[in-house]
Structure 1
């Protein structure tokens, strides 16, 4: 993975970075608040020995530098800690004193520094004072020769004991900065990891690779599409409507030598927007002057009639079982050359009904009665209905919602079509995210180019719900309806 890909994943999952950063900073602040303040008391010793002449002074200095290293360990010895506890009732054990004492030396010198860290400022100072006095006594006793001669080593206190007036820990600024840096780095790592583990389709290039078919369109997401899914009225001038028109153009030129007249629209899973796209594609084709027939072949969860405001009680299933003639149940929608065949009553055997000879004969008849037949089918991975219908069509259009469906499921859906030699016309990435720059550019172009609505305001309600409430009477059949078999 290169740096650009990692940054793109961080940008995509920015909320992970933000949450991790907030948690890290909050944890650092909590630790800082709950940590007891600590004070440091210190004392500095100077180690010396009598010398005569320059040579003796040089040799004595080397001797003392080696000696100082031993004295640093002596400051933390059990013997000294026990002496401190016995001489001063500080409420600590010898082990507590040893844990609070630390030493340091400066290379090339004979200076020895001892520090005592404690949460009690007064106790830190008392321990340091007692420690300095007892250390001098201990060195004299240890260095005294066996014949009673005085120690050749002399320890003098040259600094302290003194205690810090302010706590040395915790340090709020440092803790918050460190917590922020740790949170930022950890958040970026988690964002990259989440992106690497995310198997959902995120872009058009990935959809083309998985399906092995051409990308015919990208339909942008619009928040108002849930309440107003059709590209009529004000929505006719939206970016979503323009994307459907681009899909219409691309679909008509997929293969100019063998154009698809019966198109099955399907998806891998439920809820990816195939029904909405089927209706809008039919509207867009009708606006261009084509005689279009939309067939709701999703017999398990039919939605076409609901979206178009039509009566779906009688339709495809009733035609297939021979109860009615197709010309009696096809409904004209709006003032365009758009006809709709609803799903009809729910059958107990949808797959068998859609794969019957009656369905094949019906599609042959519909092919001769309309320029383009759009069939909304069931999802491919849920049931076999979609494949059964797609086999009988001229080609299939595979719809995938961005950021919802995994690559494996889309690949499985594409394989189910290819396995039965279905001609996949192309794929469509639905509900794509549009950048603010692209949205602003389209809006500016629309305002500049549009002088009046594409659909007159007084006709918009009728177009949205269908004329006469959506069901045409026998005496109101248009020329398109007269072409359908009875």
Structure 2
């Protein structure tokens, strides 16, 4: 992944990272409050030779002492030194237990020995440090004494007496808070990376590019009111969502320019990704550009186009396929532009057979002769085979992908299904893209909101208040003859 991918992951999961970081901060503070305080007392010894002689003798003695200091450091934590301390102070511990609280060190090229003692009581820590220093002086004097009974050549002296510390050495509140915050943030970033690795949902165009080379024809901005008002004509014509469909219309014209067929099939991987609203609004956008457009609801399992447009759905595609009526008598004009809709008709028991029939192929050819563009709303690819069967009879397929809902393996399987039937995938439409945040679609446009009061648009047509238009049969014949009669 590139740097911007990691930045996107951090932006996408910033709340999780901050929450775990705060938990780590609180854990560090709780540890500091609940931990038993420990006090550290120190004393320092100076090691020297007792003989006085020439400068050469002093240099020789100094080298001898430096070589012996490391041995004295180890001796400070042996039972020889610690047992007298236990006896003197009356401690109820063994030399091995006491040695765990004592630390003896020496600096390089010096003759100084530092003894540190940790204890829960500051007075006790100072007393043990003082006792260890005194016991070490006595032990070294005995160990270094010559066999003939003469004085020891080495002398240890206390240069820094042990005192009771005023403040505990641990826990250190500031350090624990800093460590807790750092560890919490690290765990939060790790959790974000793990979550991103395990989460296979399609969130952005970059996620889509990882699984397919198909172009992204457009991104439809998320609109919270889209479920109540699915048509772009029901809102502002200058909204970002309306402009998204215009951009999709333009991009689709370039993607479809080399195809002889005028038919575009709109489908998705799974139900609920917004393919029907995309197909309907795409047809509306095409009609607004001056084209004569036929919108066919071929979703014979869950038809929605008639519901969105307020049209009659009892007679439509299935009526034409079984020969009960001619398609020109079933086309329903809608709106002020040259948009004609063929609703689904009654839901049949065998949708796949009907959509794959020769009658369906002939119907598509007739529509292509009569209209500049044909948009077909098909069922999703994965649950049923309807769309795969129908994809073989059209010029191109547009796959709608619902962001934050569809997983990458599902999109891969849908694309593989289209490739299996040798369908031409024109591109992918990302639906319900967030307008803000790390997954927002890289899209902008110039627009304005008119301040004058506009007259209501006859966007919906219902049976109770039909729009005054020619009869469907006459409209179909007009288009076949090349006339572009404007519908009111």
TM-score (norm 1): 0.85
Question: Pairwise mapping of residues 243-322 of structure 1 onto structure 2 (< 5 A)?
Answer: 243-256=244-257, 258-322=259-323
Question: How many angstroms does 1:392 deviate by?
Answer: 1.7
Matching residue of 1:458? 456
Question: How many angstroms does 1:101 deviate by?
Answer: 0.2
**Does the Cα contact within 8 Å between 1:244 and 1:281 map onto a contact in 2?**
yes
Question: How many angstroms does 1:35 deviate by?
Answer: 2.0
Closer/same/farther in 2, CA of residues 209 and 115 from structure 1, 3 Å limit: closer
Number of corresponding residues: 478
Q: Distance in 2 between matches of 1:410 and 1:323?
A: 38
User: Are residues 1:380 and 2:356 paired?
Assistant: no
Greater Cα shift, 94-103 or 12-21:
12-21
Question: Pairwise mapping of residues 204-219 of structure 1 onto structure 2 (< 5 A)?
Answer: 204=205, 207=208, 210-219=211-220
Question: Pairwise mapping of residues 97-136 of structure 1 onto structure 2 (< 5 A)?
Answer: 97-136=98-137
Question: How many angstroms does 1:383 deviate by?
Answer: 1.7
Matching residue of 2:80? 79
Question: How many angstroms does 1:117 deviate by?
Answer: 0.8
Closer/same/farther in 2, CA of residues 196 and 354 from structure 1, 3 Å limit: same
Closer/same/farther in 2, CA of residues 207 and 129 from structure 1, 3 Å limit: closer
**Does the Cα contact within 8 Å between 2:312 and 2:463 map onto a contact in 1?**
no
Cα offsets for 1:83-139 (capped at 9, x unmatched) = 222222344333331110001112222221111112222322232233233333333
Greater Cα shift, 240-249 or 282-291:
282-291
Q: Distance in 1 between matches of 2:465 and 2:378?
A: 22
Question: How many angstroms does 1:240 deviate by?
Answer: 1.5
Structure 2 gaps, min length 5: 481-488
Matching residue of 2:52? 52
Closer/same/farther in 2, CA of residues 43 and 274 from structure 1, 3 Å limit: same
Question: How many angstroms does 1:190 deviate by?
Answer: 5.1
**Does the Cα contact within 8 Å between 1:333 and 1:470 map onto a contact in 2?**
no
Matching residue of 2:26? 26
**1:225 alignment partner, SS class:** coil
**2:220 alignment partner, SS class:** strand
**2:47 alignment partner, SS class:** strand
**1:446 alignment partner, SS class:** coil
**Does the Cα contact within 8 Å between 2:330 and 2:472 map onto a contact in 1?**
no
User: Are residues 1:139 and 2:140 paired?
Assistant: yes
**Does the Cα contact within 8 Å between 1:208 and 1:427 map onto a contact in 2?**
no
Matching residue of 1:238? 239
Closer/same/farther in 2, CA of residues 103 and 219 from structure 1, 3 Å limit: same
Matching residue of 2:178? 177
Q: Distance in 2 between matches of 1:292 and 1:390?
A: 19
**Does the Cα contact within 8 Å between 2:44 and 2:161 map onto a contact in 1?**
yes
Q: Distance in 2 between matches of 1:315 and 1:431?
A: 30
**2:270 alignment partner, SS class:** coil
Cα offsets for 1:365-412 (capped at 9, x unmatched) = 433444322111112222211111121222222222345444444343
Match among 475, 480, 483 for residue 480 of structure 1: 475
Cα offsets for 1:244-265 (capped at 9, x unmatched) = 1122223234454645422211
Output the aligned Cα RMSD.
3.5
Closer/same/farther in 2, CA of residues 123 and 143 from structure 1, 3 Å limit: same
Q: Distance in 1 between matches of 2:465 and 2:425?
A: 33
**1:272 alignment partner, SS class:** coil
Matching residue of 2:342? 341
Closer/same/farther in 2, CA of residues 251 and 441 from structure 1, 3 Å limit: closer
**2:232 alignment partner, SS class:** coil
Q: Distance in 2 between matches of 1:237 and 1:478?
A: 34
Cα offsets for 1:255-284 (capped at 9, x unmatched) = 546454222111223332211111101111
Structure with more of its chain in helix, by fraction: 1
Q: Distance in 2 between matches of 1:108 and 1:70?
A: 14
Greater Cα shift, 358-367 or 194-203:
194-203
Greater Cα shift, 364-373 or 280-289:
364-373
**Does the Cα contact within 8 Å between 2:82 and 2:135 map onto a contact in 1?**
no
Q: Distance in 1 between matches of 2:465 and 2:85?
A: 99
**Does the Cα contact within 8 Å between 2:78 and 2:99 map onto a contact in 1?**
yes
Structure 1 gaps, min length 5: none
Q: Distance in 1 between matches of 2:193 and 2:21?
A: 15
**Does the Cα contact within 8 Å between 2:329 and 2:473 map onto a contact in 1?**
no
**2:28 alignment partner, SS class:** helix
Question: How many angstroms does 1:167 deviate by?
Answer: 1.1
**1:161 alignment partner, SS class:** coil
Cα offsets for 1:20-44 (capped at 9, x unmatched) = 4334333323322332211101111
Closer/same/farther in 2, CA of residues 111 and 470 from structure 1, 3 Å limit: farther
Q: Distance in 2 between matches of 1:89 and 1:479?
A: 115
**1:301 alignment partner, SS class:** coil
**Does the Cα contact within 8 Å between 2:39 and 2:165 map onto a contact in 1?**
yes
**1:154 alignment partner, SS class:** strand
**Does the Cα contact within 8 Å between 1:262 and 1:393 map onto a contact in 2?**
yes
Q: Distance in 1 between matches of 2:210 and 2:162?
A: 75
Q: Distance in 1 between matches of 2:271 and 2:149?
A: 99
